[in-house]
Structure 1
């Protein structure tokens, strides 16, 4: 059974005008989220373009909204409203998408629920706006939206329980790209298989990382077959709500993003959340696929990662955790025939494609910051004659690994902060050897202490672990101390230096930090008094914020009667 799946969005308070819904944050550029993507006018001739279908799997759709009405995918193998499954795909009258949740062909929002079921229309409109900026009036000829509704008409909440069933429909019915602006739960084996099937068919799946401001990429974005997207705010730093992590591929705006609002055919709203980020990235990838429909996930990621713009000045906080940067449409299009064009050795995520033209080139990957290492993906399947062609990796000018392309591993981990690669090969005209990489960041929140440490030996000395250094931001570390039965635990502090009234050491009876169990709470630089527990088991929890840090604390505990 599917876990409940949560749509990812946060709305600004809105004011409703006669024809428009707009945010009170009107001091910001109305379309800043699209401006920052650097979307150029199309220069590709029509004969060289291919129509691309993007399946948007979401709560429901206002098909008549002016932002998406002309972009709707129509199943021409099906006769509309004749109550016959003309194309034999198992769905009667699925002329414009399908309502998976209610098992019918009506993907429209149930009457009276427009404000609650707005999300699908909103996300679809982000894709169509990108297409319209690039292709102008011809956008509808090249980009199509396949609306797939996965929320019941009579649902009591907006959890998308049928989300993965929608993915199956998209796979089986011709989608080129699947946009999943939602997350939640842990996948079943069946759902894992679905993602593999999509990738095997060349379908590119884009999903939002999550809106809980934590270092965790939620499913479905966490699937290796999916392009995971994080969000950035108007300051181009990590979005306030956006999740982050090593598995993020790319970032896009997630705050004050203008999209359709289905209370009227020409109404709009400015919304927050990584749902918007995923929709924007799906729209950009649709442009790339319309110019080169054969692009697979690895090729798309190579292009958007190499051509992205760096977004983080908060280097100690999110370096390596927001993907390669903010997606840049113009540079991505310029990279279609030359994926290495904007390669930068300073990026923590990217790709190198070796061919006949650059077979002698040497590339060094040396991003800013400290990392535990790099994960590499290697593919020589597009090299016709692999024998006597070699790929070498150097660490600090010393050869670390040398592979014949006949037996090169698909995955490789390099335990270093930087590395250099080169090939010794005689590639033919159509040969391509691919290497993609991303850094493995060090979780600074666990740099000096573990998430949980269990102690039971009498007379131990415990400290925050940073010794002579300051502790780090966003620390959340716990110690569970267990004394023999009928004993209590006494605490004697000999050091206390934390940011006053901000970073705290909590001490509570038991193993959970509930208010009634807390018997001590210390902060600042005054040495705490001696305190004792009321039971034989105690939780010590050290929590810090994201700003200032100090030298930390230390205590000795003793078991007493």
Structure 2
């Protein structure tokens, strides 16, 4: 056990160095003027990484009875240097890479071995939060459960570019929490230049909600802050907050030419523009998802671009899940997200943070979630992403889609589960019999389960066509053991669709049907 004692002693020394301290320290308490201390920490970190790598291939065995170390090495047929005693009859064995499977089977068959297991990973069971100082003030992130999604993100994520068409972004230098997040191809459509200064602050706030770097010991955590998300700042807003449709149209077209993944529009007006709509439809047809704020008038009026077809219109809710007093509500609302008193990056050359409210804050919450989903699966189309939101959002208010909340409050973790379920290998499906004949284009489906259920037992119910999600309204009746799935829009005539049901016990069901 000598090595364990050495590690404990080293940890004690590190603790002493931190608490005895000197005036100049980094955020983690390490003296940044002391090269010896920095070298020491680097040494320890490297050593720990090596140890963790070694543990991944180890096997743990429990013997039928205690015995001497020499005897153990002989019976197990291993070099004694590769065997470590954990308890009188329990040992860990270091195994050469590539030999794990063969030696694991041999140990299982060894008569002296009672049990053989992998060296399983464990984790601390406290509520872990990013180390960003203002994270605990970002109530909206916990309200949508984003930290639970972060915990389940796959290790490999693609790069995603989000065009923030707004008032620019804090520059000279860029805000500390947006470091390496700003796409160099940003453009100022007001001056016709690449100077994307932000005298208003609105664009900087929106960019921070989407992409502020997470776990960097600075400021806040962006919704997509753990992914490689790039903000393309396209400046169309004057410093006093005014915007004109010509700049907006030019910026949307520029975003299409740059082949961005998502456009965030935390702005709008009450007048419909067919030209503006045409440009936005072109973006959607090119596979770009467009997210926009529903408006802050607190009434049922339409706001554009949010109310154009195909645009994800986002309303705002407060901490109690009720519609924010200022949030517009109408039949164009798709989803809602937290949008009140949300702390985010602020314009200043001093790296400031400030509170931000409005549907302007709710929209980038949704954009950030969709950016994470695109980082996981770049093939997701605007229709897919809308379908995912519709299938997984937490229903608020009246059952199904309603004017106050659309499909409900965004539920990132459930959306992630659905994406990951879709990415699993084909198979493990229970195929349900198709209905006889063809079904009406507005057909709703009653799904009857064999017992009552809790809502969290269902990971998702979707309808697909050609692997694209179709927006649906889902009503769950847990006590009655049934669900009703209704298409938001009518199906296309003479086409094949699939109804898919994902349960959290990994059971999956699907049924094909044809429309009239």
Q: TM-score, normalised by structure 2?
A: 0.54
- Cα 1:166–1:357 shift into 2, 3 Å: farther
- Cα 1:301–1:422 shift into 2, 3 Å: closer
- 1:208-242, CA deviations, whole angstroms, 9 ceiling, x for partnerless residues? 10000111331101111211101001221001100
1:379–1:434 Cα contact (<8 Å) kept: no
1:30 paired to 2:147: no
Give the Å deviation of 1:188: 3.2
Give the Å deviation of 1:141: 5.8
- 1:402-437, CA deviations, whole angstroms, 9 ceiling, x for partnerless residues? x99872499xxxxxxxxxx979xxxxxxx99799xx
Give the count of matched residue pairs: 319
1:121 paired to 2:204: yes
1:107 paired to 2:107: no
Give the Å deviation of 1:158: 2.8
Write the mapping of 1:254-269 to structure 2, written as runs, cut at 5 A.
Answer: 254-269=339-354
1:72 paired to 2:182: yes
* Distance in 2, Cα, partners of 1:186 & 1:280: 25
Give the Å deviation of 1:339: 6.9
- 1:304-339, CA deviations, whole angstroms, 9 ceiling, x for partnerless residues? 222222333xx59x9453111111221111111447
* Distance in 2, Cα, partners of 1:131 & 1:434: 44
* Distance in 2, Cα, partners of 1:232 & 1:340: 32
Q: Tell me the secondary structure at the aligned position of residue 180 of structure 2.
A: helix
- Of the three residues 433, 442, 446, the one matched with 1:360 is 433
1:230 paired to 2:315: yes
1:247–1:321 Cα contact (<8 Å) kept: no
1:206 paired to 2:271: no
1:287 paired to 2:372: yes
- Cα 1:167–1:382 shift into 2, 3 Å: same
1:379–1:433 Cα contact (<8 Å) kept: no
- Cα 1:270–1:309 shift into 2, 3 Å: same
Indicate the residue corresponding to 1:242 in structure 2. Answer: 327
- Of the three residues 245, 251, 256, the one matched with 1:166 is 251
1:126–1:279 Cα contact (<8 Å) kept: yes
1:49 paired to 2:140: no
* Distance in 1, Cα, partners of 2:290 & 2:491: 32
* Distance in 2, Cα, partners of 1:264 & 1:203: 33
Q: Tell me the secondary structure at the aligned position of residue 177 of structure 2.
A: coil
Q: Greater helix share, 1 or 2?
A: 2
* Distance in 2, Cα, partners of 1:286 & 1:56: 12
- Cα 1:30–1:252 shift into 2, 3 Å: same
* Distance in 2, Cα, partners of 1:43 & 1:240: 34
Q: Tell me the secondary structure at the aligned position of residue 137 of structure 2.
A: coil
2:160–2:230 Cα contact (<8 Å) kept: yes
* Distance in 2, Cα, partners of 1:333 & 1:118: 32
Give the Å deviation of 1:170: 0.7
* Distance in 2, Cα, partners of 1:58 & 1:338: 35
Q: Tell me the secondary structure at the aligned position of residue 231 of structure 1.
A: strand
Question: Unaligned regions of 5+ residues in structure 2, if any?
Answer: 1-134, 436-444, 449-461, 469-489, 501-509
Write the mapping of 1:463-502 to structure 2, written as runs, cut at 5 A.
Answer: none
Indicate the residue corresponding to 2:228 in structure 1. Answer: 142
Give the Å deviation of 1:249: 1.1
Indicate the residue corresponding to 2:169 in structure 1. Answer: 61
- Cα 1:231–1:138 shift into 2, 3 Å: closer
Q: Greater strand share, 1 or 2?
A: 1
Question: Unaligned regions of 5+ residues in structure 1, if any?
Answer: 1-27, 75-95, 342-354, 367-376, 384-402, 411-420, 424-430, 436-561
* Distance in 1, Cα, partners of 2:271 & 2:358: 21
Indicate the residue corresponding to 2:46 in structure 1. Answer: none
- Cα 1:357–1:268 shift into 2, 3 Å: same
Write the mapping of 1:90-489 to structure 2, written as runs, cut at 5 A.
Answer: 96-109=185-198, 114=199, 117-129=200-212, 139=225, 142-152=228-238, 158-161=242-245, 162-312=247-397, 315=398, 319-338=402-421, 357-360=430-433, 363-364=445-446, 380-381=465-466, 407-408=494-495
Q: Tell me the secondary structure at the aligned position of residue 327 of structure 2.
A: coil
2:143–2:319 Cα contact (<8 Å) kept: no
Q: TM-score, normalised by structure 1?
A: 0.50
Give the Å deviation of 1:70: 2.1
Indicate the residue corresponding to 1:25 in structure 2. Answer: none
Give the Å deviation of 1:287: 0.2
- 1:156-191, CA deviations, whole angstroms, 9 ceiling, x for partnerless residues? 653354222211111111211000000104343322
* Distance in 1, Cα, partners of 2:315 & 2:513: 25
- Cα 1:59–1:137 shift into 2, 3 Å: closer
Q: Tell me the secondary structure at the aligned position of residue 332 of structure 2.
A: coil
* Distance in 2, Cα, partners of 1:322 & 1:102: 38
Indicate the residue corresponding to 2:61 in structure 1. Answer: none
